[in-house]
Amino acid sequence: MSNTEPDFLCVHCGLTMSALTPEGDERDHCSGCLTSRHVHDQHDGGVSDCAARMTPLSVVVPADGRWRLVHRCVDCAELSEGLVAGDDGPLPLMRIAVRPLAEPPFPLELLGRV
């Protein structure tokens, strides 16, 4: 697969990104801060007119074992997911992966009562 897509600038941190990951997949987020741009319409499968910044929310690991990032659009709140790339920053990925443990939806003091 040849890189026919242009490089792009991250809408959050300004890092210049290649349009392809080291694995040859299309890149849909910044490898530094994991931020994306809302360009795909998840409901209709086409191109989105939104183009707003999408913040990384979480990491999911489906049955195939390949980590995927879940993003939410800051403008329209649509959710999307895309594959984690081999050159994505390990520290931002781990921050997102452990966020539910570090910030549970209940007071940590309740664990002492269990």
Global pTM reads 0.78
SS3 state of residue 110: helix
Report pLDDT digits (tens) over 16-71.
999 899 989 888 899 999 999 887 666 666 666 788 899 999 999 999 999 999 99
Return the half-sphere exposure (C-beta side, CA atoms, 13 A cut-off) of residue 10.
16
The percentage of the chain sitting over the pLDDT mark of 90, rounded to a whole number, equals 53
Mean pLDDT in residue range 70-82: 92
- Predicted local confidence at residue 56, as pLDDT: 96
pLDDT tier for residue 1 given thresholds of 50, 70 and 90: very low
- Predicted local confidence at residue 6, as pLDDT: 75
DSSP structure class, residue 113 = G
Mean pLDDT in residue range 5-14: 86
Asked whether residue 2 carries a pLDDT value surpassing 60, the answer given is no
- Kindly report the average pLDDT of the chain as a whole number: 86
SS3 state of residue 101: helix
